[in-house]
Amino acid sequence: MSAAKDAPPPLPEPLTVAVADSHTHLDMQTGTVEEALTKAALVGVETVVQVGCDVKGSQWAAETAAQYAAVHAAVALHPNEAPRIVLGDPDGWSRQGARDAGGDAALDDALAEIDRLAALPHVKAVGETGLDYFRTGPDGKDAQDRSFRAHIEIAKRHGKALVIHDRDAHDDVLRVLAEEGAPERTVFHCYSGDADMARICAERGYYMSFAGNVTFKNAQPLRDALAVAPLDLVLVETDAPFLTPAPYRGRPNAPYLVPVTVRAMAAVKGLDEETLATAIAVNTARAFAY
């Protein structure tokens, strides 16, 4: 990778209305939390939701949110983490050995810690949870399903938002949410469905959070979904350090790049930047109850 590819993109023009990055991973980014928050604030991104993907990351998210007023936490086991726990760490146990050693019990223990963290006042959401059929094969589906249903129950019991990770699993995610009964506030992080799915989400009152991939040339289905998504259910996120928006695709992502995605989203919806940013700010505060 060239030096230019390694270099952080420049700061975009500030938004005139402050918004929140509804999904980021500060623990996976370079630099300090203070640096990330300072750069974000300079361009009108005044709040971030720090998302945990495993027990350690969720603990870090909760601790960081307790320390910084601009940070809210979401805690969970990522869909790919549940099979890893049950079937065994590929760097350690064999799959059968993990089961013999109590992989299901280990998942229960991990879920109990997520439950404990979810009760904390500065933890605003349970997620990212859901289903991922891209990285986890059929042998991991049972663990993902059990973990997803447990997270739904935890979110409802604590009155927290549910943040969904859905990759190549649209029908099953929607089915499980219907079977379990979705929490009052449910967010599809890095929305990846098409316009038809967006209409289903709208009917059910699910929030749809769009990331930098909505700017990619091959992402017309995402733009079609955004076009039909109700304005009061639209959020924006970075999923940083991943999914850096064009024209900086492939370079490090961070919360300060939210304005690039907001402006692209405004163009898709035929809205001025201020109107969309105002709606996003209101929606994110309502979705995460802060």
pLDDT digits (tens, 9 = 90+) for 200-241: 999 999 999 999 999 999 999 999 999 999 999 999 999 999
CA-to-CA distance for 245 and 45, rounded, in angstroms? 16
Q: Which residue has the tokens 């929607």?
A: 174
Least Cα distance to 145 among 189, 194, 96, 83 occurs for 83
pLDDT digits (tens, 9 = 90+) for 8-50: 999 999 999 999 999 999 999 999 999 999 999 999 999 999 9
Partner residues linked to 32 by β-bridges: none
pLDDT, residue 102, reads 64
Phi/psi zone of residue 162: left (φ > 0), alpha (ψ -120 to 50 degrees), beta? beta
pLDDT, residue 6, reads 79
Full set of structural domains in the chain with CATH: 18-288 (3.20.20.140)
Least Cα distance to 242 among 216, 262, 218 occurs for 216
pLDDT, residue 273, reads 98
Phi/psi zone of residue 88: left (φ > 0), alpha (ψ -120 to 50 degrees), beta? left
pTM exceeds 0.75 for this model: yes
pLDDT, residue 87, reads 87
Distance, CA of 285 to chain centre: 15
Question: Are the C-beta atoms of residues 185 and 162 closer than 8 Å to each other?
Answer: yes
Strand ranges for the chain from DSSP E: 19-24, 45-51, 71-75, 123-132, 161-167, 186-188, 207-210, 234-236
CA-to-CA distance for 279 and 231, rounded, in angstroms? 7
* Spans of the chain, pLDDT less than 70: 1-4, 89-102
Least Cα distance to 232 among 283, 191, 290, 183 occurs for 283
